[in-house]
Amino acid sequence: MLQMKRHSRGFTLIEVLVALAILASLTIAAYQVLNQVQRSNVVSQESEKRLGEIQKALAIMDSDFRQMASRQFRNQGEDPGSQLLWMQDGLLSSDSVGILFTRHGWVNPQMQFPRGDIIKVGYRLTGERLERVWWRYPDTVAGDNGIVRPLLTQVESISFRLYRHHQWVDRWEDKGVLPEAISVKLTLKDYGEIERIYLVSGSELSVSNVSK
């Protein structure tokens, strides 16, 4: 019987190059998929963080504007003003319109601290950052510039409208009274316009709320 010799035969250079090219293509594709997944995760985390920032800022604003107090207040040790709400360009050193008022709801359990439940709060725009300025007491002395809390970034503009006598106005000079409702509109770089409208209860100044 004739026996046939089998000659072992290795890969040719072309076959090796083709295999390497296929492996490189698979590696690049896998890297691109992994990179895309990582980028998507980063974007998702940033979006979630940003949304949380917006929601937290709106929650604080909701609490302030829904609990506005009909109370006169002193600024920088001056006599109490006749207006219960101040709103004008440059107020509180704002780069846009600023607003200032008092609010209820600052917890003082069993009156343990020498203060009431009313504080003074304001909002201003510094660059592209919305800031909340607040004071522990509604009547403040000279040099007390309040406590500044940054609330929201990427804010392009802020505006307020006030409702009284069946119409919206963008100026407020009424004395001894609050508006019946207030509209707060924020324009954000990434989310566009966000508007909140708050009803104001107890808008008339009572005798007990007159600052002595």
Q: Is residue 3 part of a domain?
A: no
- Domain containing 83 equals 63-209
The token pair that represents 7 in the structure block: 């000659």
Task: Read off the CATH number of the domain in which 193 is found.
Answer: 3.10.610.10
pLDDT tens-digit series, residues 113-134: 656 789 999 999 999 999 999 9
Q: Is residue 50 part of a domain?
A: no
pLDDT surpassing 60 at residue 5: no
The full length of the chain comes to: 212
Q: Is residue 202 part of a domain?
A: yes
**Residue 206 vs residue 19, higher pLDDT:** 19
Taking residues 159-184, report their average pLDDT: 94
Q: How far apart are CA 203 and CA 30, in angstroms?
A: 64
pLDDT at 212: 44
pLDDT tens-digit series, residues 39-74: 767 778 889 999 999 999 999 999 999 999 999 999
pLDDT at 207: 43
Strand partners, 131: 124, 150
Q: Which residues contact 194 (CB under 8 A, 6 or more apart)?
A: 54, 58, 185, 186, 187, 188
Q: Is residue 167 part of a domain?
A: yes
As for how many domains the chain has, the answer is 1
**How does residue 38 score in pLDDT terms, banded at 50, 70 and 90?**
confident
Long-range CB contacts (< 8 A, 24+ apart) of 183-186? Answer: 184/61, 184/65, 184/158, 184/159, 184/160, 185/158, 185/159, 185/160, 185/161, 186/130, 186/152, 186/155, 186/157, 186/158
Angle, alpha carbons 135-91-106 (nearest 5°) = 20
Q: Is residue 160 part of a domain?
A: yes
Q: Is residue 76 part of a domain?
A: yes
Q: Is residue 25 part of a domain?
A: no
- Say which amino acid occupies 1: M
* Contact between 121 and 64 (Cβ < 8 Å): yes
Q: Is residue 154 part of a domain?
A: yes
- Say which amino acid occupies 147: I
Q: How far apart are CA 17 and CA 168, in angstroms?
A: 76
pLDDT surpassing 80 at residue 172: yes
157: number of Cβ within 10 Å: 14
Going by their DSSP bridges, the two strands 167-169 and 181-188 should be labelled as unpaired
